Structure 1
Amino acid sequence: MGTDWRRFPDREHLRSALTSDSWAVLHAAIVEAAPGAGPVLEVIDRVVSAMVYVGDRVLFLFASAEGNPSDADTSVANAVDELLVAEIERGQRAGELDATVPAQWIQRMVWSIVYTGLHATGDGLVARHGVDDLIRWTLRGAISAR
């Protein structure tokens, strides 16, 4: 099943539609990871797995807008960030995550390490099926309580 490219008047409209769809798919994957259900590190593991599962969408978002959403996508992008930050703050309150740094710093670490892992799979450095564990291991070392 292919995309009917003729539905879009030009390349910019197509890119915009793909970007909006990618944000929506990423948001749905993170919601499905059940934020708030269980220990924070386990939730973050599930969120990372969700991000890797829709990794092509994540890479597309970084490539198309360098991670900055358009005005049309701001609300769903903010919802993605709010889910992650809320989980991080919960982990900081519970003593599972490093509380000496801002939650937004940890959120950026999550995005950075996921992006790095996904990019490494594209470069052939790591197999896609094994990158989940590597990302989680690296992330836990970076954000766990000291």
Structure 2
Amino acid sequence: MSDQQVSGSRARTRQAIVDAAIEVLGRNPAASLGDIAAAAEVGRTTLHRYFAERADLLNAIGTEAGARLARATAQARMADGTGASAVRRLCQEYFDLGNLLSLIFSEPETGTGSTGGGCDPEFVAMVARGHRDGTIDPELPEGWVQSLIWSQLYAGWAYLAETGASRHEVLRLILRTVDGAIAVKPA
């Protein structure tokens, strides 16, 4: 085997462990490293070769979460269309992150910092555009809109887990709630 094949194989194994950890921990934050190894179809020794400590795995998940959130944000095209239509696309893209969202909500030590803190400039511009174009209530500051999105995504994933409703139905409910919450209210 060439060095390139070995490094490619190592990268695939590492990614399989991270992906399995996101799925397993997203469903059960208390899952063991053995559960993660089994889901990744590797032995515990292999898992420990890549991630000596649980904290190392959580750091890798944080890095992966940041990358996936950045891709979802880019796919939402926040600079296109009305402010409200961009918020809707952002909700859809984030909802599609699946168990990663559950993990972010339940394991803040993954280090993503995505659900807290200030809004990034692109988000601020999207909400400001919505204020100007009349699709987002101007009484709602950017930070409130951001918190609203995260809270509804959390509520949606909790509802999905509790009720077994379809992903399609839960996304419909999230979008309906967010659309109604940010809409300009008649005087």
TM > 0.5 fold call:
yes
- Name 1:104's counterpart in structure 2: 143
User: Is the CA contact 1:19–1:64 (under 8 Å) kept in the aligned structure 2?
Assistant: no
Q: 1:125 to 1:98 in 2, by over 3 A?
A: farther
SS at match of 2:107: helix
- Name 2:182's counterpart in structure 1: 143
1:56 and 1:8 map into 2 onto residues whose CA distance is 21
- Name 1:13's counterpart in structure 2: 56
Instruction: Indicate yes or no: 2:25 matched with 1:25.
Output: no
Q: Select the residue among 107, 125, 141 that pairs with 1:64.
A: 107
1:77 and 1:135 map into 2 onto residues whose CA distance is 17
1:29 and 1:114 map into 2 onto residues whose CA distance is 14
Query: Which amino acid in 2 is paired with 1:12?
Result: A
1:143 and 1:39 map into 2 onto residues whose CA distance is 12
1:23 and 1:63 map into 2 onto residues whose CA distance is 16
User: Is the CA contact 2:51–2:57 (under 8 Å) kept in the aligned structure 1?
Assistant: yes
Quote how far apart the aligned CAs of 1:69 are: 7.0
Which portions of structure 1, spanning 4 or more consecutive aligned residues, are displaced by more than 3 angstroms? none
Say how many residue pairs are matched. Answer: 140
Q: 1:99 to 1:125 in 2, by over 3 A?
A: farther
Query: Which amino acid in 1 is paired with 2:55?
Result: E
1:53 and 1:131 map into 2 onto residues whose CA distance is 11
5+ unaligned residues in a row in structure 1: which ranges?
none
Q: Select the residue among 130, 133, 136 that pairs with 1:91.
A: 130
Query: Which amino acid in 2 is paired with 1:57?
Result: L
1:17 and 1:28 map into 2 onto residues whose CA distance is 17
Whose RCO is larger (CA < 8 A, sep 6+)?
A: 1
Query: Which amino acid in 2 is paired with 1:106?
Result: V
Give the share of equivalent positions with the same residue, in percent: 26
User: Is the CA contact 1:69–1:77 (under 8 Å) kept in the aligned structure 2?
Assistant: no
Larger radius of gyration: 2
5+ unaligned residues in a row in structure 2: which ranges?
1-12, 18-45
TM-score, normalising length: structure 1: 0.84
Note the alpha carbon deviations across 1:96-146, whole angstroms, 9 max, x for none: 111113221111011101110111111125321221111010111111111
Q: Select the residue among 156, 162, 165 that pairs with 1:123.
A: 162
Query: Which amino acid in 2 is paired with 1:26?
Result: L
Query: Which amino acid in 1 is paired with 2:136?
Result: L
